[in-house]
Amino acid sequence: MKRKESTRLTLAALIVAIFVVANAIFIFIVIGRIENDSKIINYSGIVRGSIQRIAKMELSGTRSDSYINQVNRIFAMFEKREEGFYLFFENDRYRQLDLKLKNEWELLQKAIDEFRDNDTEDNRMAIVSISERCWVIANDLVFEAQDISQVKLNFFRYVFIIIGFNIIAVFVIIYLIKKYVKDKLEYLASYDQLTKVLNRHSYSVILNQEMNRTNRYQTPLSLVIIDIDDFKLVNDRFGHNNGDYVLKALAEIISNCLRSSDALFRIGGEEFVVLTSNTDKNQAVILLEKIRSSIYTHSFKSVGTVSVSIGIAEYKKNESEAELFRRADSALYLAKKSGKNCLKIAS
């Protein structure tokens, strides 16, 4: 009798062990797919931001071939379903948005070619119109991918709820995995993967918060755009790996110069934004000159020295986010025009 009971207990333990192992394998697969989804969401966000930058550069008379090639490479990776570029359980809406974005992207490239050949108002407006449509579709694509990923996460939680006879182990695993997934997704949604600083999405959220706080308490706020001078030449001469190294090292230099109340963002390519709270434009100059000098005197491995141009704009009451950024961007343009490796303050 005891032997039979022992056998049953052993069998039960074996079944539980198999069940736990099966769930562990399932967990591993789901985490991989969620990380894969996060990668897709991130690259979709890169496409979304790059399209706007391409349109801006082309309309300002600057060729954006490197960014166009980057977007085409991303589309090609999705098209070939390369590893990490396949969204599991993708639905009809996701596929339709994906196809629609590719079609609009092809139209935008044609519009850019026509604009380069013939700079007319109609061609200019065509780029503006198509790029806006691309941005909206890319934005919808990002949210649709997030929704699909969230469905997987919800199903993942549900699976653990039904494991009643192994509830203690299951609750421990649920807690650990939930925390890991949440932290991972929040990090990927908020931080730039290359430089590890805040990304464009975080920039929009935090800038809105800072503007509201500034309007409420009447404290100064300055927005700063930092752009690496001739970064394309760095990539062309030393390769993209060294270019990536420069971006990471430069982000670290800037971070080390900032105060705890300041925020650093990479908003695309070689362009960074700094928000300096409780700081007017004249006070910001002191900090930014330190940043500019620290970068210029730094020797980047395999590359040597690089310089940055900086544009500063102090927030005006009830000014929109777009207008504040536009003034800082105009100041950055003046810095570039003035010989680079300098900073300019917006009026």
Provide the 8-state DSSP code for 300.
B
155, pLDDT greater than 90: no
170, pLDDT greater than 60: no
Hunting for tokens 């990380």 — which residue is that? 35
pLDDT, mean of residues 175-195: 72
The fraction of the chain above a pLDDT of 90, given in percent, is 39
pTM higher than 0.95, yes or no? no
Between 158 and 67, the more confident residue is: 67
pLDDT at 2: 40
pLDDT, mean of residues 325-340: 95
- Give tens-digit pLDDT for 29-80: 666 666 666 666 777 777 777 888 888 888 888 888 888 888 888 777 766 6
Which of the residue ranges 12-21, 142-151, 305-314 would you say has the lowest mean pLDDT?
A: 12-21
Contact 152, 33 (CB under 8 A): yes
Q: What tokens does 315 get?
A: 């927030």
Non-local (6+) Cβ contacts of 118 within 8 A are none
First and final CA of the chain: distance in angstroms?
92
d(CA 197, CA 228) in angstroms, rounded, equals 16
Q: What CATH code is assigned to 200-345?
A: 3.30.70.270
pLDDT at 149: 67
d(CA 6, CA 213) in angstroms, rounded, equals 68
pLDDT at 3: 47
